[in-house]
Amino acid sequence: MSESPETALRRALEMIEPEMLRGVARTDGGYVELLPDVPAPNPSPASIAMNNPVVAAIYEKLWRPFGVSMMGIAGMSMSAERAKAVADLRLSGHQRVLDVACGPGNFTKFLSEALTGDGLAVGFDISEAMIARAVRDNRGPRAAYVRGDAAHLPYADATFDAVCCYAALYLVPKPMTMLDELIRVLRPGGRIAIMTSCEPRPAPLGSVVGFGTGLAGVRMFPKNQFTDIFARAGMTDMEQDIHGLAQFVSATKQ
């Protein structure tokens, strides 16, 4: 059973495929470091922000609430979004949860608090600044952090009971590669929950928003893109909620 942040960290380390550790993993920063001496890439203004320690420090209290209000989901507080993630993932008990692109752990810690006994929430992110902040602000007896690239998750197939990915697929250069990885590491019967962008209608409005977000390095996804992918993957119990420019999609892997 995880009884301390140190135990949670050890358990998070043990979940990683041995060949992915390759003798390079470090834990001296309070998290599992799989990319020592490799800085996070900065392909866009949005990515540059995510790698900035000042943004990491204000992310949970200021940056994200502002970003969320820009996406038109101002009516939904962070606590409502967290409760939605727990409900959509159907979290409880001894489950093992992966929170991909966890930022400063603003969801990971909360997800971990829905678990008991051997339950564990692993926050996974590529930004050193974000992971350092997660360790500082959001460690827990069932919450631990790993720094790595979600385009190549270091886990065997079907490792996790639930996989969460909020506010990240629209930022990364290869979102479908990341999505494939999220589905791969989820066990059959497990739940996936994503929050990402949703193209507005009518089309002229979509073009204006798309131009602005494109400059910032944020991608807008069509409304049906993720539901279609999940359906083609044979997923069931699908739910989609659209709030402004954001969509929440969850489903069960078969």
Ligand X SMILES: C[S@@+](CC[C@H](N)C(=O)[O-])C[C@H]1O[C@@H](n2cnc3c(N)ncnc32)[C@H](O)[C@@H]1O
Which window, 5-13, 18-26, 103-111, 221-229, contacts ligand X (CB under 6 A)?
103-111
| Residue 171 binds ligand X (CB under 6 A) | yes
- x/- map, 115-144, ligand X, by CB under 6 A: ----------xxx--x--------------
| Residue 168 binds ligand X (CB under 6 A) | yes
| Residue 13 binds ligand X (CB under 6 A) | no
Distances (CA, A) of 245 to 79, 80, 116: 19, 17, 34
The token duo for 39 is 């800085």
Q: What single-letter DSSP state applies at residue 46?
A: H
Q: How far is the CB of 125 from ligand X (least distance, A)?
A: 4
Q: 149, 126 in Cβ contact below 8 A?
A: yes
| Residue 98 binds ligand X (CB under 6 A) | no
3-state secondary structure of 94: coil
In the complex, which residue's CB is closest to ligand X?
103
Q: How far is the CB of 3 from ligand X (least distance, A)?
A: 26
Rounded CA-CA distance 158/188 in Å is 7
Residue of the chain from 2, 44, 95, 106 that contacts ligand X (CB under 6 A):
106
Which window, 4-12, 109-117, 146-154, 229-237, contacts ligand X (CB under 6 A)?
146-154
Count Cβ atoms below 10 Å from residue 206 Cβ, excluding itself.
Answer: 16
Rounded CA-CA distance 115/110 in Å is 9
Contacts of 116 (CB under 8 A, 6+ apart): 92, 93, 94
Q: How far is the CB of 109 from ligand X (least distance, A)?
A: 11
Which is closer to ligand X, CB of 2 or CB of 47? 47
Q: Is the bond preceding 202 in cis, omega lying within 30 degrees of 0?
A: yes
Interface positions with ligand X (CB under 6 A):
50, 64, 101-103, 106-107, 125-127, 130, 149-151, 166-168, 171-172
